[in-house]
Amino acid sequence: MRARCAEAYAELRTGCPVFHTEAWGGFWVASRYEDVYEVGRDVARFASGPGAMLPPVGHGRPLLPMDADPPEHPEYRRLLLPRFAPAAVAGMEADVRDLARGLVDEIAGRGEADLYETLCKPLPMLLITRLLGIERDETFWAWTDTLIYGRVDGTSPEEIRAAADGLYGFLEGQVADRRRRPGRDDLISLLLQGDVEGRPYREDEILDLCFFLLIAGLENTAFGIRATLRHLAVEPGDRAAVLADPGLVHNLVEQSLRLYSPVTGLCRTATSDTVVAGQSIAAGERVLLLFGSANRDPAVFPDADEFHLDRRDGRHVAFGIGPHRCVGSNLARLEMRVAVEELLRRIPQFQLSGADPGWYDATRLDIVWDPEEVAR
């Protein structure tokens, strides 16, 4: 689907901007920017509590704060936002850069590498474990992989259940540890201080928040970094431009987010009978906000299917729109930018080692370069 998404999205936007599909129990798809904007920002008419992911993760628990509505939703965000605000994230840049530099140092002398496994995937993993204050563990990552990819790759419900049980069990242990030794600075300790209108978070809320904080920034961020680095590999002109003018990295990241939107879409559920773009939608029906299509809507972005390194196009909705805007957007942007900067700093010239794997899958990104040209 993503391989030919430009054509498919254009057909949807012009032919049937709010269309219905029977897939996954049936849902509507909003593909134009203006409709995604309208539905995403109206949390009274469109709820998130019934679940934003399609297909769902499959362990039967809400992904918090995403799958929440008022009064809980703004209360969860009130606790989390200061940790992911621009000032807080700026304070993480040195750490993120150290992690990225270490990963690039590992491969610099080799002359070839799969950037997905050596840089795109480990950078967000290393960072989130640091923020949560947990140790890395192979079993732990096998569980998260099963939950993230098992939704779509045919993993049995029993395996997904087992992975969820394993991961939640691990997180329960972490929460218990923070209760025994309070006062630490990590995100799990922060969750213990949360309240909803004066009521302390319940244990299940803490675990669900913990779980989603852990997985929300893994695959999505890895996908975003991969798509950006692949773009630099297949468009040497854009790579040369960023090398010549490092400030262009911001446009590079925003264009990459817009065109290669890591989160293709998320759902809302109508709270009452309503109408979107002339289409009646009944109470209880779901609407998928197709961010990837909204970001290619020529009504907002001229020549929308092209990568414009000379443009910002910051209005894109890669991180969503309205009160559910991705809490981690500032951190994700930082990771994408620093991954680019640290790769280009040591390995300014590189190319794909084989056929173009495309931007649309979270798969290998094999590149080659001349080890003699690696910068110190």
Partner 1 sequence: MRVSVDRSMCVGHAQCSAICPSVFGSDESGYAVVLGDGSVEPGDENDARLAADSCPEQAITVTG
Binding site for partner 1 (CB under 8 A): 37, 41, 78, 81-82, 84-87, 250, 312-317, 319, 321-323, 325, 329-330
Q: Which is nearer to partner 1, 178 or 316 (CB)?
A: 316
Least Å from the CB of residue 82 to partner 1: 5
Quote the longest CA-to-CA distance of the chain.
65
H/E run at residue 270: strand 266-270
Q: Which is nearer to partner 1, 71 or 157 (CB)?
A: 71
In the complex with partner 1, the residue whose CB is nearer, 144 or 255, is 255
State whether residue 18 is helix, strand or coil.
strand
DSSP string, 307-365: --TT---TT--TT-SGGG--TTHHHHHHHHHHHHHHHHHH--S-EESSS---SSSS---
Q: How far is the CB of 325 from partner 1 (least distance, A)?
A: 4
Return the amino acid letter for 189.
S
In whole angstroms, the minimum distance from the beta carbon of 315 to partner 1 comes to: 5
Closer of 64 and 160 to partner 1 (Cβ): 64
CA-based nearest residue to 48, from 213, 212, 269, 196? 269
What amino acid is encoded at 290 in this protein? L
Assign residue 293 a region: left if phi > 0, alpha if psi is -120 to 50, beta otherwise?
alpha
Contact between 116 and 110 under an 8 Å Cβ cutoff? The reply is no
Rg (CA), the chain: 21
Q: Nearest approach, Cβ of 244 to partner 1 (angstroms)?
A: 21
| Residue (of 316, 311, 264) closest to 290 by Cα position | 264
- Least distance to partner 1 from the beta carbon of 328, Å? 11
- Of 200 and 314, nearer to partner 1 (C-beta) is 314
Of 50 and 323, the one with the shorter C-beta distance to partner 1 is 323
**Nearest residue (CB) to partner 1, 148 versus 332:** 332
CA-CA distance, 108 to 376, in Å (whole number)?
A: 9
CB of 95 to partner 1, least distance (A): 19
Residue 314 CB, nearest approach to partner 1 (Å): 3
